[in-house]
Amino acid sequence: MRYLHTMVRITDVDESLKFYCDLLGMREMRRVDNEKGRFTLIFLAAPEDRRRAAEDMAPMLELTYNWDPAEYPGGRNFGHLAYEVDDIYATCQRILDGGVTINRPPRDGRMAFIRCPDSISIELLQKGEALEPQEPWASMENTGEW
């Protein structure tokens, strides 16, 4: 498993970049605008992580800006931790066997979400290309929030 990023929801791109980049010295490494989902993802790296972020796309801070105005009460501005895994199905099975609910199953062979005992969301991403969809994951429904 490899740590990838932490996601934080933001409400003002300019103010957030001023804080993280101008004041903290982080640098924007990548930006994704998703018109269908109506959001922008901005990936930042700390000064001493820039080389690794450029080479391996980790570790980074993901700023998520939703185009439609929203308020994030109760810590909803903190999104999730993300880890890359060698085999998403084997990882999810081990977690499920350990008594943890898979909130967003890896139906696509690429991504799953779980929650730690303190309800922090953790995203699991398949290393490399997505695996072929397979049961029981392909037909498993979401459970709770993720």
Q: Which residues are known catalytic residues?
A: 123
Give the span between the Cα atoms of 78 and 89, in whole angstroms: 26
Radius of gyration, alpha carbons of the chain: 16
8 A C-beta contact, residue 92 and residue 146: no
Give the span between the Cα atoms of 117 and 84, in whole angstroms: 20
Give the span between the Cα atoms of 50 and 135, in whole angstroms: 39
Q: Among 82, 116, 85, 81, which residue's Cα sits nearest to residue 93?
A: 85
Q: Is 135 helix (H, G, I), strand (E, B) or coil?
A: coil
Question: What one-character DSSP code corresponds to residue 98?
Answer: T
